[in-house]
Chains A and B, each alone.
Chain A
């Protein structure tokens, strides 16, 4: 009887420990709430998500690729390229007389379509030419960088219509204190009246896409096949899955999300920058690993990855509010990254297993 009770206790401990990532997240929140003034506010939380959109999108992209056993090093510069391409297109359209909204919409759509190309090339290289993903996507990184430089050297992308800025920095919901609610546009108020801004547009857009891709990964045949390829590529081939075509789609999906991240960046900062996404690459891979996916493929879910991304985003924002230079952030992220893998090593029962 006694040993049974002990076993129950261990099981419970394991169940709690399995959620170590969430525990860590909560600890972070508590820590920063105490140590950083102004952390525990609606504004601060929105900032976390606002600045983190690129990482969340790219982490989702990387997750898909990593589950199949590959990696995509090009997302950072695909994002940068997208900022430049979308900015230039929108400027071109609006200067040719098209109204702001249409130019922006058209610019975005065309950029998204163009953004599929790097992914398609990556996918073809990896699946047909059997180029290791590391090499293929590293080459694409360079190529996108080169093309970005070329486009930017012609003319800087200025004169974006105001609407772009409004969308990029706007929110879904505005609540006037003691007053009404307004959607999408900031209400005109008298001086000194407080307006609560809720749900930044870019965050909403990003999360709509992330939710869609989470659904695809978890509930559809496409997602199922993705896991299968990562688990045992040969078995997947022999069950009739068109692995080559699937891999192409995966990499296209990845560069699509990277382009989206670039477009959102452009809307936020109304500019195009070649290396806009360079620093997010590391964070997005770290997010995937911290979120419990294995670099060898076959495991991982979108929400866990977002959790990993949150841990990093909270860390960065918290440190910033505390006034600690971001140098330390690199150290801490590095330590967390390695710890995540070690925990997986030592306590395999703790990590999320499907």
Chain B
């Protein structure tokens, strides 16, 4: 090989690296940009805030990642989350206010029931899609309506309140509470210190962050290192090939939708910890659409067969940082919608131009 072609290959490899991780590059650029244009953007508090508020979006996006890689789509996760949140809330409310059960016990039962219930919509969608050949768009759209209706029935249209305080203490708590010069305490303020003194304490690493890391590690492992993950990619890439290689595709599809539904259920439980209230999902929330957007921005293709958990997380952060940064910089909210829209289109165009990049 001649020297010039060596150089050309080197250049294209660098170029490919950048293009492959374009979302990450954009993310870093935005962080730099907003640090300059917005006061208070580049601070530990702000970043912790961004992460804390993005947890739900990340959960939704990771659920959607599995489904999209598998070649499908799940439009119902937003309302499954609402169903789970409302169910857990209702149970906790009834149990803890009845006086017979300790708050901790009611919370545990509430969580267990909510998580169990959240398996059902996914099971139903999965069966419809795998065994009855209903297009995923329709099956999950139908489930969208059904779970929403049930959630609203349970809470009668109102958020479920009057829940124990310990919920938000855990949900919005931090791992480290540091008072410079005075020492560290874990999980909560030191004994005898009231909430009014909280400003003196340097709070580090939200509990939600720890939860998120553990959660993402498990999902990442599932997708990358197990047969389950491998089969998910295979089915998304060529369903027929997967069938003919002996993979039980129908069973796998059901599992994928149950997984996605379960993750949405976890998001609902997390939501209760974060807000202290059982919330049904309002109409305009569009969690599922933003989740799909994040996954696509992260590099997955709607056709299936491509995608990574970490990439979807980058996609979520890209959108979150963009919103936060624009907000802090005082930009009109309307620009953010346009920005997200353009990012989406950019993601798709890059996918078109470099199909074997990911």
Please list the residues of chain A having a beta carbon within 8 angstroms of any beta carbon in chain B.
71, 73, 125, 129-132, 134-136, 138-143, 145-147, 149-150, 275, 278-279, 282, 285-286, 289, 295-296, 325, 327-335, 337-338, 341-342, 345
Contact = CB atoms under 8 A, between A and B. Distances in A.
B330 interface: no
Interface in B330-351: 332-338, 340-342, 344-345, 347-349
Interface in B101-124: none
Contacts of A338: 128, 134, 138-139, 142
B358 to A, nearest CB: 16
Q: Give the dominant DSSP class at B's interface.
A: helix
Contact of A278 (B132, B134, B284): B284
Interface in B309-355: 332-338, 340-342, 344-345, 347-349, 352
The binding surface of chain A is classed by DSSP as helix
B72 to A, nearest CB: 13
A147 B341 CA distance: 13
B283 interface: yes
Nearest to A148: B334
B149 A327 contact: yes
B352 A130 contact: yes
A325 B145 contact: no
Given A295-B135, A330-B146, A341-B134, A129 B141 contact: no
B77 interface: no
B302 A330 contact: no
B261 to A, nearest CB: 15
Contacts of B335: 146
User: Which 10 pairs from chain A and chain B are nearest by CB?
Assistant: A334-B145, A139-B341, A146-B337, A331-B149, A146-B334, A330-B149, A142-B337, A327-B152, A150-B334, A338-B142
Contacts of B134: 338, 341-342, 345
Given A134-B302, A139-B341, A335-B146, A285 B141 contact: yes
B95 interface: no
Nearest to B143: A334
Interface in B28-65: none
Contact of A275 (B148, B284, B348): B284
A24 B273 CA distance: 44
Contact of B157 (A71, A140, A285, A325): A325
Given A132-B302, A275-B284, A337 B157 contact: no
A146 to B, nearest CB: 3
A318 to B, nearest CB: 16
Nearest to A333: B145
A135 B302 contact: yes
A341 to B, nearest CB: 5
A129 to B, nearest CB: 6
B296 A337 contact: no
Nearest to A286: B141
Contacts of A285: 141
